[in-house]
């Protein structure tokens, strides 16, 4: 069998390198293409030999494995790094993974462990690179950013269900970007376990195009893909506003609709998600603290010179007990609500806990109908989607296969 997985071994101890080479030698599908005794040599060899896998000791004289991993992420982005360490270096390992390593091995490891890890990391990389057939699109897609000045008002609930409703309505490709970089939970709402996240994508942003980007998406169904939030809050800082702008621009070339879920803050990354948007859906509820913050939020958006057309107010949990009068709130905010979702804890919370969007699990519930109405209003205003050919229930059933 011809060797298909090229491995570079980096360790300052010759005996360790020899040992690893021996373990790999029995397996014809894996080939050791080079060895390096320090990080600088590893970087030079990685650029020359283009290995699929770099096995790298975490502790080496000169540059350590963590610094080398983060340099290699830009110098040799096609190579996946597996860090090797001895017991008791947990904090180092965490840093190495954040720096871009794909997996780790604790010394001493068995031949089985080594081969299993190499094969798994290689398979994951192949999966990421797998070219998903994107339809050629004449026009760029529409970016809709769901934002609020308050946490917990229903941004994720609306982003997720709106995405599925728009996909069901238009049968076009829709992507949900989880830009709540610290505590994003879009994957949870869809019951997905992402292999890759926006943090991985940010580390591979150079020359990004639609085909490359496809490897970072997590598929929900035929029409809806998810770009997941980082798995850990500390990885949020790996994603800058500039990264998000680039990602959204490229997503426009591959998806008809891009729905961006956000964190409740005017951070650099959130501003990028707002700037890049064609439509900003500002989510409010009927309580005084939220209204006060939404008012401030709208003032800031005015000062950013966002057009009135770009911003749409959405009222969530409109029927909550003890809420304020809708008309008064609209007057106070000086604009009408473009969409209103009733409060329905039974349907909404049950759907989240099962990981099924409620527009799918309860398409006839009033809260689902309100999301379909919002989808219709936003898509119709956009004016580019094909006319609905059949009823919503039919298309939803088709969407579910």
Ligand X SMILES: Nc1ncnc2c1ncn2[C@@H]1O[C@H](COP(=O)(O)OP(=O)(O)OP(=O)(O)O)[C@@H](O)[C@H]1O
CB 248 within 8 A of CB 241: no
Q: How far is the CB of 183 from Mg ion (least distance, A)?
A: 7
Q: How far is the CB of 295 from ligand X (least distance, A)?
A: 18
Site for ligand X in 329-388 (CB under 6 A): 341, 343-345, 348-349, 352, 367
Q: 383: how many CB neighbours lie within 10 A of its CB?
A: 6
Choices 21-29, 156-164, 196-204, 370-378; region in contact with Mg ion by CB under 5 A: 156-164
Q: How far is the CB of 286 from ligand X (least distance, A)?
A: 11
Q: How far is the CB of 190 from ligand X (least distance, A)?
A: 13
Nearest to 81 by CA among 21, 124, 129: 124
Residue 156 binds Mg ion, judged by CB under 5 A: yes
Q: What strands lie across the sheet with 80-86, from one edge to the other? A: 30-36, 5-10, 53-57, 80-86, 103-107
Choices 154-162, 201-209, 325-333, 362-370; region in contact with Mg ion by CB under 5 A: 154-162
# of chain residues touching ligand X (CB under 6 A)? 20
Site string for ligand X, 91-130 (x = CB under 6 A): ----------------------------------------
Choices 122-130, 144-152, 205-213, 328-336; region in contact with ligand X by CB under 6 A: 144-152
Residue 161 binds ligand X, judged by CB under 6 A: no
Residue whose CB is less far from ligand X, 151 or 355 = 151
Q: How far is the CB of 351 from ligand X (least distance, A)?
A: 8
Closest residue to Mg ion, judged by C-beta, is: 156
For residue 29, give every residue at least 6 positions away whose Cβ sits within 8 Å of its Cβ, in sequence order, or none: 1, 2, 3, 4, 5
Q: How far is the CB of 244 from ligand X (least distance, A)?
A: 17
CB 255 within 8 A of CB 225: yes
DSSP bridge pairs for 143: 258
Burial 310-342 (b: 16+ CB within 10 A, else e): ebbbbbbbbeeeeeeeeeebeeebeeebbbbbb
Residue 32 to residues 4, 29, 44, 47, 318: CA-CA distances in angstroms? 11, 10, 16, 15, 63
Binding site for ligand X (CB under 6 A): 148, 151-157, 180, 264, 316-317, 341, 343-345, 348-349, 352, 367
Binding site for Mg ion (CB under 5 A): 155-156
């Amino acid at each position: 069998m011809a060797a298909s997985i090229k491995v570079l071994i980096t360790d300052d101890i010759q005996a360790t390198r020899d040992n690893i080479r021996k373990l790999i030698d029995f397996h014809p599908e894996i080939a050791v293409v080079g060895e390096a005794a320090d990080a600088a040599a590893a970087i030079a060899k990685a650029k020359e030999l283009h290995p699929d896998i770099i096995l790298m000791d975490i502790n080496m004289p000169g540059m350590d494995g963590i610094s080398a991993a983060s340099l290699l992420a830009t110098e040799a982005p096609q190579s996946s790094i597996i860090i090797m360490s001895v017991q008791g270096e947990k904090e180092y390992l965490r840093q190495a993974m954040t720096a871009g390593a794909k997996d780790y091995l604790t010394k001493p490891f068995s031949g089985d462990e080594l081969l299993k890890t190499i094969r798994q990391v290689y398979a994951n990389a192949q999966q990421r690179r797998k070219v998903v057939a994107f339809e050629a699109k004449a026009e760029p897609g529409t970016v809709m950013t769901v934002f609020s000045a308050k946490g917990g008002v229903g941004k994720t609930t609306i982003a997720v269900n709106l995405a599925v409703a728009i996909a069901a309505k238009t049968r076009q490709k829709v992507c949900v970007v989880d830009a709540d970089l610290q505590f994003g939970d879009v994957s949870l709402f869809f019951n997905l376990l992402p292999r890759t996240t926006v943090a991985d994508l940010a580390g591979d942003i150079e020359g990004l195009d639609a085909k490359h980007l496809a490897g970072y998406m997590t598929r929900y169904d035929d029409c809806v893909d998810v770009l997941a939030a980082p798995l850990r809050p500390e990885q949020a800082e790996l994603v800058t506003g500039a990264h998000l702008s680039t990602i959204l621009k490229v997503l426009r070339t591959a998806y008809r609709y891009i729905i961006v879920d956000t964190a409740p803050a005017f951070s650099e990354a959130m501003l990028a998600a707002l700037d890049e948007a064609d439509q900003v859906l500002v989510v409010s509820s009927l309580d005084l603290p939220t209204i006060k913050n939404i008012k401030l939020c709208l003032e800031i958006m005015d000062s950013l010179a966002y057009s009135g057309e770009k911003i749409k107010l959405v009222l969530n949990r409109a029927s909550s007990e003890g809420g304020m009068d809708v008309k008064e709130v609209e007057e106070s905010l000086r604009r009408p609500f473009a969409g209103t979702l009733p409060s329905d804890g039974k349907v909404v919370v049950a759907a989240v806990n099962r990981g099924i969007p409620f527009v799918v699990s309860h398409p006839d519930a009033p809260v689902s109908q309100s999301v379909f109405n919002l989808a219709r209003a936003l898509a119709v205003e956009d004016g580019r989607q094909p006319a609905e050919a059949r009823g919503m229930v039919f298309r939803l059933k088709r969407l579910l296969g």
